Structure 1
Amino acid sequence: MSEVQHAAHPSSHASHAAAPRTAAVPLQVRQVAGRIGAEIAGVRLSGTLDDATFDAIQAALLRHKVLFFRNQGHLDDTAQEAFARRFGEIVAHPTVPSVDGSAHLLELDSAHGARANSWHTDVTFVDAYPKVSILRAVVIPPFGGDTVWANTAAAYMHLPESLRALADTLSAVHTNAYDYASTHVHADDTQLKRYREVFTSTVYETEHPVVRVHPETGERTLVLGHFVQKIKGLSSQDSAHLLQVLHEHVTRLENTVRWNWQQGDVAIWDNRATQHYAINDYGDAHRVVRRATVHGDVPVGVDGRRSVVLKGPGATLQ
């Protein structure tokens, strides 16, 4: 594919250096798929990255929805957190404890049942779910273990007009108390039971508009994924049918990008405009990734409706 440049500084015309850099120069951006995803080369991620280069990364993220960086093996937990803070306040997972030695990083370790092989947007069972997620590859299996992302803004834009109009009016209830075990094709019962107990140690339910307006781009994006329990006002059967129709539009191959992980890779995605799926196809091999998430904002629908917490911390008595 052709390489395009995103200027990190309008007056910078420096040539591309072979070694990673922290100076404010144009980004080397290679678009990976037609509607989502770009790889950025030649940048050494850190909490001290210069403002111009960081601003260019943010602009590229809003455009491409997910960014991939190879050769970031210099990052440890502390450095990953420091870089994540450039995007805003970093927050811990609401129920799963952070990895030892960190206040905020979530470790997803296949040896402990963390194989989330289903389509989801991170933590949508709370109201102000994360706006950005930063995932670092720690242990990568010799085969498999790819992650696929879908562009929920593109999915909305390519819906039939009548279905867009319907989606604009809908709200859905999201919860962390879903059938976690049903999404796992390779994990023993003990692992799943333990992970589910932790994951649902506090039960959350939040009602989100099915279509939210992105606070930075103005795009309309679909707020769906495996945390959705039901569509408000519909029977369970009708809700399931309609959710399946919308899900099929989100996950059309044209809306997706697939990333083959290497040791030291980092992926950053706009959690307000994407879903993702970690493929569980690596057998007994070991896979460990660590995720930082950045505090988000309460979604607002096209008609001004805001998300409402129904159960869990922040819920209001009805």
Structure 2
Amino acid sequence: MSVHDAAVPESAVRVVRLGAHIGARIDGVRLGGDLDTRSVATIRAALNEHKVIFFRGQQHLTEDGQYEFAQLLGNPTTPHPTVTSTGAKSLAIDSHQTRSNVWHTDVTFVDRVPQASILRAVALPSYGGSTTWASTVAAYNALPEPLKRLAESLRARHSNRYDYADEIANRSADTDRDYRREFESSYFETEHPVVEVHPVTGERALLLGCFVKQIVGVSSSESQALFRLFQDRVTRLEHTTRWNWSLGDVAIWDNRATQHYAIDDYDGGEHRRLTRITLGGPVPVGVDGTASTVIAGDAEPYSAPLGRAA
């Protein structure tokens, strides 16, 4: 039985589909650490099927409440491997520090890629600032068979010192330089399969995004061509969903089946701040059963649950 055929447990929660390949809004739930087990099961099933799910009207959530809810879904990691967080439990995504207007899957430069991320809107610009997600499962499924086989045979090195970040423009040079310096303060590099097998659903997904440094075994120009060939499949509009934020909104996405892009379409005087909690995940495994391998860096302090870091 496929994930799409799986029965969603009965509860008061209502799942509203937003697109054929990705996205659903969930109504009738108040998120928090006291959420009942049936509602949690419904949320899990919806996340497995729709890849990213959205909740309106969660203004009651604090950082602690967001963290307590996250614990119902998995083991939260520390906020980030390199970026300092003002909060002990979540990472601030703040436009005063940086704007992540590139397609990416969170923290793929470590071996244990987070299984999911939970994002809460704290401050928003008066216009713009939406986020788009893409299904990497739909992207793989849309490939013709010869390209599927090619992708399955490839591996890629991901790093937190990545060339594609040069595409980010029109930001304060000093702010960007300081953030980039902190982001790269400890070097991480991991070799991942280009096609990973989802450990829960069994679906195959393209594991790419802006942290890709090099496709293994080919020249730099060939690597760029292969990256663009497969990355462009991910970002086809048919494989995406876009969310226009309101204060208190919460988004949860399956980090093993998506990429996302925060749209930088608001002026510098506007402020956008969201808080993110990531849930620890296993090491990705390719179609041939070969797992990802660490090239540089020790991500154990990040990947271990809070309070258990080395």
- Is 1:191–2:172 an aligned residue pair? no
Segment of structure 1 superposing worse, 171-180 or 71-80: 171-180
Contact kept, 8 Å, 2:129 with 2:272, in 1: the verdict is: yes
Q: What is the match of residue 67 of structure 2?
A: 81
Q: What are the within-5 Å matches in structure 2 for residues 20-39 of structure 1?
A: 25-39=11-25
Contact kept, 8 Å, 1:180 with 1:196, in 2: the verdict is: no
Q: What is the match of residue 17 of structure 1?
A: none
Q: Which sections of structure 1, spanning at least 5 residues, go unmatched?
A: 1-5, 10-24
RCO greater where, 1 or 2, for CA within 8 Å and sep 6 or more? 2
Q: What are the within-5 Å matches in structure 2 for residues 1-318 of structure 1?
A: 7-9=8-10, 25-92=11-78, 93-99=80-86, 102-112=87-97, 114-179=98-163, 182-284=166-268, 285-313=270-298
> Separation in 1 of the partners of 2:94 and 2:163?
19
> Separation in 2 of the partners of 1:133 and 1:90?
9
> Separation in 2 of the partners of 1:91 and 1:26?
30
Q: Deviations over 1:57-103 (max 9, x none)?
A: 0000000000000000000111011111111111121001122xx32
Rg larger in structure? 1
Contact kept, 8 Å, 1:70 with 1:264, in 2: the verdict is: yes
Change (3 A) 1:163 1:180: closer
* Pairs aligned (count): 292
Q: Deviations over 1:32-69 (max 9, x none)?
A: 12210000111000111111110110000000000000
Question: Which letter does structure 1 place at the counterpart of 2:61?
Answer: L
* 1:164 CA displacement: 0.2
Q: Deviations over 1:118-173 (max 9, x none)?
A: 00000000000110100000101111111000000010011011000000110000
Question: Which letter does structure 1 place at the counterpart of 2:27?
Answer: A
Q: Deviations over 1:183-224 (max 9, x none)?
A: 323311100110011101101000000001000000001100
> Separation in 2 of the partners of 1:258 and 1:213?
25
Q: Deviations over 1:268-297 (max 9, x none)?
A: 000000000000111121100110000011
> Separation in 2 of the partners of 1:128 and 1:153?
19
Change (3 A) 1:84 1:294: same
Q: CA RMSD in A?
A: 1.3
> Separation in 1 of the partners of 2:145 and 2:265?
37
> Separation in 2 of the partners of 1:58 and 1:181?
33
> Separation in 1 of the partners of 2:99 and 2:234?
21
> Separation in 2 of the partners of 1:97 and 1:180?
22
Contact kept, 8 Å, 2:51 with 2:254, in 1: the verdict is: yes
Instruction: Name the % identity.
Output: 52
Q: Secondary structure at the match of 1:192?
A: helix
> Separation in 2 of the partners of 1:295 and 1:145?
27
